[in-house]
């Protein structure tokens, strides 16, 4: 695992990023351990938290769930975390949320499949006194808390870096996530906002990867072997794309991805081979932020209704920043950005990697 000095560096670099909390100022300066407000009073304990995730086999989502569990364990006030985890859309998620409500959970943390389509079941849960926190992607349900990475800025900042890298002209590919889900819509809007500033950029293909590395890899291979492409923007399916250039023995083009460990490694170790790219922060530990917000709401601390993390871009050439993001022993599809003061209370990557909730 990373030494405390590297954790201090990554938090200092990344959470010098503004945590834009609706109606609130930026949080206090972070520390390596992710210090946060004092734990909830001992008498406010014994909570059961439900978690709804509808994308299985995705490293980012796996780490999100592990971060939720780690924060629950660190809180000392959660007795049980019930995770409902399967592939599905709004219909399946509504059923899962109804199941969690029937189990008498105190709070629900969900990564939503739809901004509007889940509102009825979310509002029904809130009417029964259940705290509901949407993480990673937003919902519009009245009374729901929302904790997200700024998905529009994620795309716009990365796309603008790419278009500048190309000198404002060239043929690019937009590799999106899942059609119709809030994060994909927001990211596409951000990509298009960037595109509007660069009339010399032509989008020659737009794909939906489903945030599945194997799907994205095949799409990338098909594209780079059949079309003239000058740059690629991805919605987080990044290191498999670089691997396809290697497999096809083709020259690399500038690539935008997320702060996935495998991609960061490529940016650090393959720059001499011609790899040029930018990693845009999108920490899965937003799940832990959601857990912290849920606990604060349950214990009467009145958290902000909307919490937004602002992404940063770490590009080739920023060796110090990229090194702070990289951990040799971490999974390729996981982010090493795990401490988000003042929300997270666990120690760091080891606690998240253990993926243990209370009593597990």
Give 318-341 pLDDT, tens digit per residue: 999 999 999 888 889 999 889 999
Rg, Å, the chain Cα set: 20
As a whole number, the mean pLDDT across the chain is 89
DSSP secondary structure, 175-228, as one string: EE-STTSHHHHHHHHHHHHHHTT-TTEEEEEEEE-TT-HHHHHHHHHHHHTTS-
Per-residue model confidence as pLDDT tens digits over 120-177: 999 999 999 999 999 999 999 999 999 999 999 999 999 999 999 999 999 999 999 9
The predicted model scores a pTM of 0.84
Q: How confident is the model at residue 262 (pLDDT cuts 50, 70, 90)?
A: very high
Mean pLDDT of 19-37: 32
User: In the prediction, which pLDDT does 124 show?
Assistant: 98
Place of tokens 């994620």: 154
- Tell me how far apart the alpha carbons of residues 44 and 77 are, in angstroms, rounded to a whole number: 7
Position 27 pLDDT exceeds 60: no
Q: How many CB atoms lie within 10 A of CB 20?
A: 16
253 vs 38, residue with greater confidence: 253
Per-residue model confidence as pLDDT tens digits over 83-110: 999 999 999 999 999 999 999 999 999 9
Per-residue model confidence as pLDDT tens digits over 294-315: 999 999 999 999 999 999 999 9
- Decide: helix, strand or coil at residue 306: strand
DSSP structural state of residue 273: G
Residue 168's Cβ-side half-sphere holds a number of Cα atoms within 13 Å equal to: 4
Mean pLDDT of 179-183: 94
Residue 209's Cβ-side half-sphere holds a number of Cα atoms within 13 Å equal to: 29
End-to-end CA distance of the chain: 22
DSSP structural state of residue 327: -
* Under 8 Å between Cβ of 257 and 266: no
User: In the prediction, which pLDDT does 43 show?
Assistant: 47
- Tell me how far apart the alpha carbons of residues 197 and 135 are, in angstroms, rounded to a whole number: 30
What is the arrangement of strands in the sheet containing 277-280, beginning at the earlier edge strand?
201-208, 170-176, 231-234, 255-258, 277-280, 313-315
Going along the chain from its start, the domains and CATH numbers come out as: 4-150+283-312+336-354 (3.40.50.2300), 152-280 (3.40.50.2300)
Beta pairing partners, 170: 201
**Tokens coding 208:** 């939906």
Position 37 pLDDT exceeds 60: no
User: In the prediction, which pLDDT does 328 show?
Assistant: 87
Q: How many CB atoms lie within 10 A of CB 124?
A: 15
């Amino acid at each position: 695992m990373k030494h405390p000095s590297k954790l201090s560096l990554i938090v200092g670099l990344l959470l010098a990023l503004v945590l834009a909390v609706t109606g609130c100022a930026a949080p206090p300066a972070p520390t390596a351990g992710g210090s946060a407000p004092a734990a909830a009073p001992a008498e406010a304990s014994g909570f059961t938290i439900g978690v709804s995730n509808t994308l299985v086999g995705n490293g980012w989502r796996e780490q999100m769930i592990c971060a939720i569990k780690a924060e629950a364990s660190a809180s000392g006030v959660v007795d049980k975390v019930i995770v409902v985890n399967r592939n599905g859309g709004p219909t399946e998620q509504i059923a899962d949320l109804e199941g969690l409500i029937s189990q008498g959970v105190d709070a629900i943390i969900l990564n939503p499949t739809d901004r509007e389509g889940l509102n009825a079941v979310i509002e029904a849960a809130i009417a029964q006194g259940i705290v509901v926190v949407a993480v990673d992607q937003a919902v519009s349900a009245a009374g729901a808390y929302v904790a997200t990475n700024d998905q529009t800025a994620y795309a716009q900042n990365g796309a603008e870096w790419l278009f500048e890298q190309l000198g404002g002209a060239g043929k690019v590919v937009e590799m999106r996530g899942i059609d119709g889900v809030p994060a994909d819509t927001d990211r596409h809007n951000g990509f298009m906002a960037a595109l509007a500033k660069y009339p010399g950029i032509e989008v020659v293909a737009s794909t939906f990867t489903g945030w599945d590395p194997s799907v994205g890899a095949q799409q990338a291979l098909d594209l780079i072997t059949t079309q003239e492409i000058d740059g690629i923007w991805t919605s987080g399916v990044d290191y498999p794309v670089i691997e396809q250039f290697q497999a096809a023995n083709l020259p690399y083009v500038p690539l935008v991805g997320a702060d996935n460990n495998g991609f960061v490694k490529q940016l650090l170790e393959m720059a001499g081979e011609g790899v040029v790219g930018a990693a845009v922060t999108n920490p899965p530990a937003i799940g832990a932020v959601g857990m912290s917000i849920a606990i604060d709401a349950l214990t009467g601390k009145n958290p902000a209704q909307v919490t937004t993390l602002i992404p940063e871009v770490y590009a080739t050439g920023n060796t110090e920043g990229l090194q702070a993001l990289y951990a040799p022993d971490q999974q390729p599809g996981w982010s090493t950005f795990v401490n988000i003061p003042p929300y997270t209370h666990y120690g760091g990557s080891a606690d998240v990697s253990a993926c243990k909730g209370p009593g597990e």
